[in-house]
Structure 1
Amino acid sequence: MTTSYTTLTISEDRTVAFENQLQNKINQGSLALLVALGYRTGLWKVMSLLEHATSSEIAAEAGLKQVYVADWLTAMQGGGLVEYDPIFQTYRLPREHAEVLTGSAQYEESLRWLTLLGKLEDELAESLRAGAPLSDETREQILQAQSAERSTSFTNQLFQQILPLIPGLIMQLCEGLDVLDLGCGDGRLLLELATAFPESRFVGYDPSAELIAQARESAAAQGLENVAFIERELTAIHAINAFDLITVFDVTVAPQEREEMLQAVQMALRPDGTLLLRELACSRSREENLQHPLSALLLSICSLRNLTGVERPAAGNERGREALCSSLTAAGLGNLEYRLLPEDVLHEYYIARPGVAAETSLSAETAF
């Protein structure tokens, strides 16, 4: 008996094309890490303030060694981020590039996730092999990274773009509101708000004892009396008609806990109160997620959330704006608006109030 096999041929052209594509992706990944290094060392800020400068001048302004800065500049030149004048041996960051790199915090914050994923490579690989969530220590690192995102740049964005999403909110804060921030982390966001709006009263909840301790120390050091920080699970608000505004920025909870948290939010809000929520720009639709300009990073963050154990893996029907809108409506927060900011491609913003809308629309308005 003779067995016939079909000979499978490999296209040499396709193999070469894919290898070139892979090399390009590896090269771009390395370039992204160096772009992140430029943020961490302040080089992008320095270059945005200089017109034409040598590597020595740039290094001196940044307080770094010239030999290392020269290599970084060469890589940035090769990646097309900076320009080089071979006659005068000077580098220049075009104003158009500077506007994108330093005009908002979104890319600096996005790259923090990339570097975090690199640091956690061993833990992520072990978690995948074991089919188990990440360790408590690693989860704490992720919480610290999320807290670090609430940087000065994010605070500026909050005042300039996020709070204005709600007409009249800044004026109301000046006059005096009761505000709760769920998942406040180390409290830096609330401290800025408490300083800017002394007539308002602020409370921050977070389950991390370490972060709450940091927040309390900072508040005491600044002598702020209109802000308080409480170690508490985010589903346990324990308040009725107590807050005019509740903010929830990038809080990671399991689907069931999200339902409980939003129900507690609805009870804690006053009848004319508002929930302002920021979440990843993620959809239930796989095809839509792949169309996102930062799709690989977006899906990497979603995977990281799964591995923390607070989101069930493969819970595609429980993830994304569709599931979130459904949860908000079920919690009695159906008076809902969904907004996008041009300065923040990774996130979506939800403005929800107590009530039931006739129909919840998923088409977003872009705020300028």
Structure 2
Amino acid sequence: MTQVDETKLNELVGRVLGDLGGAVSVPLVRIGDSLGLYETLKRIGPATAEELAAAADCFPRYVREWLAAQAASGYVQHERGSFWLTPEQAFVFAEPDSPVNMIGAFDTAAAMVENQPKVQAAFKTGRGVAWGDHAGCMFCAVARLFRPGYVNALVQEWIPALDGVADKLKAGVDVADVGCGHGLSTILMAQAFPRSRFTGYDFHSASIAAATAHAKAHAVTNVSFEVGRAQDFAGRDFDLITCFDCLHDMGDPKTAAVHIRKALNKGGTWMVVEPMAGDTLEDNINPIGRMYYSASTMICVPTSLAQEAGLALGAQAGEKRLTEVIRSGGFTKVRRAAQTPLNMVLEAT
């Protein structure tokens, strides 16, 4: 019988207990967000459970237990029966435009759990799980997950890091956002560069409908959305084509790269935003890699395997592999133009 190292065992058990605490926090965080408990506590705190319940129009006994769980998790502060959010806690849970708002990650985690039966079955068959067949809230969850990075870096840092692209956008050019999802990235660019014209493409018709409604709600007139695949969308003569966190989800990203190259004007740029990753598993044994590998297992790989070719790059493909795919489309220059802890921005010409 193998001898167990008690110290290592206790360390592992401690880590698993911490993980379980985080896992069971997922529904509580989503309840706090949906009922406005975080936002209300930020506004009125310090407050007792009864005061927060009254302000949020909730039943006090539930709120008291919820606050106790939040305090135990370190998500709210507590002293002598009063609760409040520190500025840092508010930045994570109560400020939608914060660069580190994490609510979308909790929503995505919940959708991953809901997807388990379909993905588990695919482990046996090798088949994929189509994007449109994932849990109903997956699409809004993913949009919300990526929103903080886009809101805080897309226009401010990523586009200025591309060679000459910001000046073109200011003057007025045609742009395609391929794999646009709910259109957040497309609309942010359209708002920032009103002289340019933006078209968002996605193969998921429900996402295109949501993007169209989103643009209408924000009265953005220089943007439109169409159903279209990365391999054969209809538009041509673009000066900039963007792909945000979607190249690794495609079944046939190499054919997409070829088509995108043909759809660009001479001198045009392809901006590829992908999850941050090193080129080897060893490079990605860290908290970011852990999160992305898990999401990739439950979302990205099944989505790719459900499509033709099913290359299944995965969310941690790494810059070297992504560059190979991009170059296969006829691009001769690929460089990392910018990065954040969660994303890398590649510029291809």
Shorter-chain TM-score range = 0.7 to 0.9
* Aligned equivalents of 1:13, 1:221: Cα separation in 2: 57
Residue number among 36, 39, 46 corresponding to 1:45 in the alignment: 39
User: 2:331 is matched with which residue?
Assistant: 333
Q: For residues 26 and 337 of structure 1, do their structure 2 counterparts lie closer, same or farther at Cα, with a shift above 3 Å needed?
A: same
Letter in 1 for 2:323: C
Structure ID, larger Rg: 1
Deviation readout 1:295-321 (Å, 9 max, x if unpaired): 3211112212222324858868x9322
Q: For residues 230 and 80 of structure 1, do their structure 2 counterparts lie closer, same or farther at Cα, with a shift above 3 Å needed?
A: closer
Residue number among 150, 160, 179 corresponding to 2:175 in the alignment: 179
Q: For residues 69 and 229 of structure 1, do their structure 2 counterparts lie closer, same or farther at Cα, with a shift above 3 Å needed?
A: same
Matched residue pairs, number?
A: 340
Q: Please state if 1:118 is matched with 2:95.
A: no
Deviation readout 1:75-117 (Å, 9 max, x if unpaired): 121122322121xx21122223334554324523333321211
Residue number among 284, 307, 312 corresponding to 2:279 in the alignment: 284
Q: For residues 36 and 287 of structure 1, do their structure 2 counterparts lie closer, same or farther at Cα, with a shift above 3 Å needed?
A: farther
* Aligned equivalents of 2:238, 2:271: Cα separation in 1: 12
**Secondary structure of 1:274's partner?**
strand
Listed as ranges, the gaps of 5+ residues in structure 1 are: 1-6, 355-368
What's the CA shift for 1:235?
0.9
Q: For residues 75 and 12 of structure 1, do their structure 2 counterparts lie closer, same or farther at Cα, with a shift above 3 Å needed?
A: same
User: 1:301 is matched with which residue?
Assistant: 295
What's the CA shift for 1:254?
6.4
What's the CA shift for 1:14?
5.2
**Secondary structure of 2:291's partner?**
helix
* Aligned equivalents of 1:299, 1:277: Cα separation in 2: 19
Deviation readout 1:320-340 (Å, 9 max, x if unpaired): 221111222333334333155
Q: For residues 13 and 192 of structure 1, do their structure 2 counterparts lie closer, same or farther at Cα, with a shift above 3 Å needed?
A: closer
TM-score (norm 2): 0.81
User: 1:261 is matched with which residue?
Assistant: 256
User: 2:86 is matched with which residue?
Assistant: 94
Q: Where in structure 2 are the equivalents of 1:52-131 lying within 5 Å?
A: 52-86=46-80, 89-101=81-93, 102=95, 103-105=98-100, 107-131=102-126
Range with greater deviation from structure 2 (189-198 or 262-271): 189-198
Q: For residues 224 and 114 of structure 1, do their structure 2 counterparts lie closer, same or farther at Cα, with a shift above 3 Å needed?
A: closer
* Aligned equivalents of 1:244, 1:176: Cα separation in 2: 10
Q: Where in structure 2 are the equivalents of 1:1-368 lying within 5 Å?
A: 8-10=2-4, 15-86=9-80, 89-101=81-93, 102=95, 103-105=98-100, 107-134=102-129, 137-139=132-134, 141=136, 142-143=138-139, 145-149=141-145, 151=147, 154-155=150-151, 157-166=153-162, 169-170=165-166, 172-216=168-212, 219=215, 225-238=221-234, 242-252=237-247, 257-291=252-286, 293-304=287-298, 305-308=300-303, 309=305, 310=307, 312=310, 319-342=317-340, 345-352=341-348, 354=349
* Aligned equivalents of 2:161, 2:84: Cα separation in 1: 36
Larger relative CO (CA 8 A, sep 6+): 1 or 2? 2
Q: For residues 12 and 192 of structure 1, do their structure 2 counterparts lie closer, same or farther at Cα, with a shift above 3 Å needed?
A: closer
Listed as ranges, the gaps of 5+ residues in structure 2 are: none
What's the CA shift for 1:252?
4.7
Deviation readout 1:237-295 (Å, 9 max, x if unpaired): 4555x11211111115567721121222222222332222211223330111113x233
**Secondary structure of 1:72's partner?**
helix
